[in-house]
Amino acid sequence: MILSTLAYQNRLSKPKMPLQTPEEYHIHTATPHVPNSRLPVLIYRSVLPLPPNEKEGEKDTATSDSASNHPSSEEDERSPASLAADAARQAIEANHWYYGGIFKSYWAHHFHSVTHECYAVVAGRRVEVDLGTGDVIVLPAGVSHCSVTSEGGYEYLGLYPEGSPKYDNNFCKAGEEETRMKAETARKVPVPEWDPIFGHKGPLYGIWNTSCTHEG
């Protein structure tokens, strides 16, 4: 597995944040039970919006007993992770990747053959690869993944490109022939035109299409 940590690039026109070239993890080689992918895994660091109660200048400064002891709305009673999840979902769905669930640590090795997958980390941390709150990872179809360790109430959203079928779970135990068939299915999953963070034809689109071209 090769890690290429790349620099920030030019800003988008009227950007919400600087255009970030994501880290790339190249996991090309198939195993008898895992297809893997010619497309690199992509990681975007600290790109998710902060929930309202964590934004700079918006922290609660109320000092009265009534304000501190009696939340003014249902939203005030929600956890930071819940607010972060809503903010992340809204931001990424605006870029045509759609919500498929909210998950905690998942310990079984598995891959999806029919869709790419985006994880938006809204709480806690995990390692190998280390991910923290605010990070986003995009997994190409066919790449096996699972949680190894986690801390801080690790929690993330799963989101999928517009038009994708419901994800399938393959638990890396099939024989070589079935794995080859799954690999062929995964190879046919199209590259999305929409980057989950930076929108239409953002970094993902260029990086993944370049990988397809180089292979050809």
**What pLDDT digit, counting tens, does each position of 182-207 carry?**
999 999 999 999 999 999 999 999 99
User: Is it the case that residue 65 has pLDDT exceeding 50?
Assistant: no
Read off the pLDDT of each residue in 27-49 and give the average, rounded to a whole number: 96
What per-residue confidence (pLDDT) applies to 196?
A: 98
Instruction: Output phi, psi for 127, to 5 deg.
Output: -125, 165
Higher pLDDT, 56 or 186: 186
Q: How far is CA 5 from CA 2, 8, 27, 41, 42, in A?
A: 10, 10, 15, 12, 10
Segment 163-183 shows an average pLDDT of: 97
- The C-alpha atoms of residue 47 and residue 39 are separated, in whole angstroms, by 21
Cα 184-130-94 angle, rounded to 5 deg:
65
Query: Which tens digit of pLDDT belongs to each residue from 86-116?
Result: 999 999 999 999 999 999 999 999 999 999 9
Tokens of 208: 């993944």
Checking if the pLDDT of 55 tops 80, the result is no
**Computed over its alpha carbons, how large is the radius of gyration of the chain?**
19
For residue 109, the SS3 value is: coil
8-state DSSP, 85:
H
45 CB-side CA count, 13 A: 10
Burial code (b: 16+ CB inside 10 Å, e: under 16) for 174-184 equals eeeeebeebbe
Q: What confidence score (pLDDT) does residue 81 get?
A: 86
pLDDT at 145 over 90: yes
pLDDT tops 80 at residue 127: no
Task: Please write the tens of the pLDDT for every residue from 14-30.
Answer: 345 678 899 999 999 99
CA dist list (Å): 200 to 83, 97, 192, 205: 26, 11, 9, 8
The whole-angstrom separation of Cα 44 and Cα 123 is 15
Bond from prior residue into 129 cis (ω within 30 degrees of 0): yes
